[in-house]
Amino acid sequence: MQARRRAVRERPGVVVRRTPLIDERLADVVGVLFAQSVKLRYRGSALGIVWSALSPLAMAVVYASIFGQTFARFYGGSVLLYGAAVYIGLTLIGFFIAATTECSSVLVQNGGLLNKVRIPFEAFPLATVAAHAFQLLAGSVPLMIVLSIAMNHDIGHALLLIVPLASLMMLAAGAGIFISGVGVFFRDTPHLYELATFFLWVTSPVFYPAAIVPHRLQQFLVYNPLYPILTTARDLVLTPSLPPLWLFALGLAEGALALVLGIAAFAAMRGRFMDHV
């Protein structure tokens, strides 16, 4: 068999086609699916993109009302500062969970289209993450930027927000594309992933400060891929000092690694998709 393949490769005039890791048409298809998703998401909505900022803001008010007096001592005695920290955490982890959860069944839901039209499979999870990213960047991030400038009077802090946000986008894209591939073979994936995201939510210092975690367990918070992202974003918005460089680097490294591994795993699974969608 190997000799036969070698003969085909060496035969003059014969072009051996290799399946690319990423389809050349991917960007165009993602753009079309992204535009369609954004239009459907806000069709008939009076406030549209504003809801993406109002929802975590309302939840942050509730958390501040319940836990504000208890946790304010970790934020200079300020309930408002605690509420702002909760808002940032809810915004970022909410984006990650919503985007990746939708990805877990996106290929199965579009199985009919995939069986009729030759579309790059990975376009669907990537467009899903892109639509949620647009909602985050257009709805909540402007408020974070304004809050950062108001708190620190330094536009540099606001500009550096691009680092944790880029890390978050890469992490969500990598996780989303991987979980979408797994969802093709295991239809219980959305339910199992819901449990996984609940565990991620509980182990992320979103509504509670990391300082209340027992010291022997605090070291394990670093293994949560969202921890460096949440921490750097909060520090850039709420404190005059810059986060340590290793937190910036850790967030970027984890995001890039998740994206590379997600694409590689998806490429390995892609050849068997048509038998299951």
With beta carbons less than 8 A apart as the criterion, state whether 91 and 99 touch: no
Q: How far apart are CA 121 and CA 276, in angstroms?
A: 13
pLDDT averaged per 10 residues in sequence order, the chain, 277 residues: 44 44 70 85 68 86 94 92 95 95 91 80 93 91 93 93 97 96 90 92 90 82 90 94 93 96 94 77
With beta carbons less than 8 A apart as the criterion, state whether 269 and 193 touch: no
Task: Give 156's DSSP letter.
Answer: H
For residue 120, is it left (φ>0), alpha (ψ between -120 and 50) or beta? beta
Q: How far apart are CA 256 and CA 249, in angstroms?
A: 10
Q: How far apart are CA 49 and CA 136, in angstroms?
A: 9
The residues, any chain, with a CB within 8 Å of residue 63's CB and separated by 6 or more, are 83, 86, 207
pLDDT of residue 27: 84
Task: Give 273's DSSP letter.
Answer: G
| 226, amino acid identity | L
With beta carbons less than 8 A apart as the criterion, state whether 213 and 205 touch: yes
The residues, any chain, with a CB within 8 Å of residue 37's CB and separated by 6 or more, are 127, 128, 130, 131
With beta carbons less than 8 A apart as the criterion, state whether 212 and 95 touch: no
Q: How far apart are CA 202 and CA 192, in angstroms?
A: 16
pLDDT of residue 21: 45
pLDDT of residue 28: 85
pLDDT of residue 44: 62
Domain ranges of the chain: 24-275
